[in-house]
Amino acid sequence: MQRVKRSAGRSIVACAAYRAGEKVRDELYGETHDYSPRRGVYKSFIFAPDLAPDSLRKRETLWNAVEAVEKRKDALLGLEINAALAYELSKAGHEWVVKEFARRAFTSKGVIADAAIHKPDREGDERNWHVHYLITTRETTAEGFGKKNRDIDRKHTLQEWRELWAEITNERLREEGLETCIDHRSFKDRGIDKEPSVHLGSAASGIERRGEQSDRGDINRAVIEVNEIKQALKTIENALEDLVLNTDRAVDAALYPTIAPSFNEAADPEAARRREEEEKPDSLAIPHPFASLETYERERKRKAKISLSEQFGEATCELTEEEKLWRRFEEAKQQLEQEQQQQKRRRENDRGFR
């Protein structure tokens, strides 16, 4: 979510004209913003509560009315929300999701939403269907605009919108008989050990398409490398666990065939002790060299370590490669953190110049 503020030198009329790809007159500044030649706008809509007057159902009069009613030089003129549309859906499905979300999230709360569906760029990702919402920040009345709606510009409201977007999208995916679904939660909340990428945006996307490298593109490339290293480390970790487990079983079977089965149930010590008591020889029998469970376990672990280091030479190679991967992982993660810090400082400097 982005805030369109007058103190940042932004015009809400210009924003609306650009998003919708239309020609709109800005009465406050006496300018005409003509973006009608712009390509990529599939359809645009104005969603308003039932009591809204007709003047607020047209793009030009709507946003000029917003500029007129906001008197402060640091006024919040509107909120912009961008959302990715599920590319698996039909075009009718895209429109239904956009309209249904506007009804549940915005007009039901008394605010007006100006929506524009954008098609993927010719040179970009063909799956990049998305929508831009530009919403008002005041309650709508029969005469025009009322008091400020403070609730829509809060963190908890944004989280509710994210959940609602996923819910509505998944409803439509099921209606169209598609098995896929989307999840609004972060990787962390879903228990996925991956670093998230950042949204490129139009400026960075243009730079990347020209074959140049952008700041956001550099961050995403570092993210990709970190995630690849994490996956490689996980693969090696699983392989080592299997190797240790198989080595333990091989050592048990080779050295202690008569009692190894009872101790392979390490996950259930009580069952192992019961079996040991059942198979315990009488006092006249020759005792086993490892009569106690504790002695046997110590010897088994010692033999397993010897087996790993002497009999399975490839294990050493795996451990060495793991150490290399960890170093690469730490370096890539450090680079990612540096890129994010630099981007944060640039944003703070940009705000200081406005």
* 233 phi, psi to nearest 5 deg: -65, -40
The confidence band for 306, taking pLDDT boundaries of 50, 70 and 90, is low
pLDDT in tens, 144-187: 999 999 888 888 898 899 999 999 999 999 999 998 888 877 76
Q: CB of 116 within 8 A of CB of 44?
A: yes
Output the DSSP codes for 72-115. STT-EEEEEEEEEPPTTS-HHHHHHHHHHHHHHHTGGGT--EEE
**Whole-number Å distance between alpha carbons of 331 and 229:** 11
Output the DSSP codes for 8-74. GT--HHHHHHHHHT-EEEETTTTEEEE-TT---EEEEEEE--TT--GGGGSHHHHHHHHHHH--STT
Q: What is the mean predicted confidence (pLDDT) over 138-145?
A: 92
309: pLDDT strictly greater than 60: no
Q: 257-294 in b/e burial notation, b at 16+ Cβ within 10 A? A: eebbebbeeeeeeeebeebbeeeeeeeeeeeeebeeee
The confidence band for 291, taking pLDDT boundaries of 50, 70 and 90, is very low
pLDDT in tens, 58-101: 999 999 999 999 999 899 999 999 999 999 999 999 999 999 99
36: pLDDT strictly greater than 80: yes
| Distinct helix (H) and strand (E) counts, the chain | 10, 9
Average model confidence (pLDDT) for the chain? 78
Predicted confidence at residue 108, as pLDDT, reads 92
Predicted confidence at residue 170, as pLDDT, reads 94
* Residue matched to tokens 């998305």: 130
330: pLDDT strictly greater than 90: no
Predicted confidence at residue 353, as pLDDT, reads 45
Q: What is the mean predicted confidence (pLDDT) over 133-139?
A: 95
Identify which has the larger pLDDT, 254 or 19: 19
**Whole-number Å distance between alpha carbons of 26 and 22:** 12
Q: Assign residue 312 a region (left: φ > 0; alpha: ψ between -120 and 50; beta: otherwise).
A: beta
The confidence band for 354, taking pLDDT boundaries of 50, 70 and 90, is very low
Q: Which amino acid is at 326?
A: W
317: pLDDT strictly greater than 70: no
Identify which has the larger pLDDT, 318 or 130: 130
Output the DSSP codes for 256-301. -TTTHHHHS-TT-HHHHHHHHHHTPPPTTSPPPTT-SHHHHHHHHH
CA-based nearest residue to 255, from 286, 297, 284: 297
348: pLDDT strictly greater than 80: no
Instruction: Compute the chain's Rg from CA coordinates.
Output: 32
The token pair that represents 160 in the structure block: 């509710």
The 3-state DSSP composition of the chain as helix, strand, coil percent (nearest 5) reads: 55, 15, 30
259: pLDDT strictly greater than 50: no
By CB atoms closer than 10 A (0-12, 13-18, 19+), residue 24 is: buried
Identify which has the larger pLDDT, 237 or 86: 86
* Residue matched to tokens 């103190």: 7
276: pLDDT strictly greater than 80: no
Most confident of 37-41, 137-141, 279-283, 314-318: 137-141
Q: Computed from CA positions of residues 69, 70, 76, 80, in that sequence, does the dihedral angle turn out positive or negative? A: positive
237: pLDDT strictly greater than 80: no
Q: CB of 67 within 8 A of CB of 12?
A: yes
Identify which has the larger pLDDT, 26 or 301: 26
What percent of the chain lies above the pLDDT cut of 70? 70
Predicted confidence at residue 315, as pLDDT, reads 43
The confidence band for 323, taking pLDDT boundaries of 50, 70 and 90, is low
CA-based nearest residue to 62, from 103, 18, 29, 16: 16
What percent of the chain lies above the pLDDT cut of 90? 40
265: pLDDT strictly greater than 70: no
Q: What is the mean predicted confidence (pLDDT) over 111-120?
A: 94
CA-based nearest residue to 225, from 330, 319, 353: 330
Predicted confidence at residue 16, as pLDDT, reads 95
Predicted confidence at residue 250, as pLDDT, reads 62
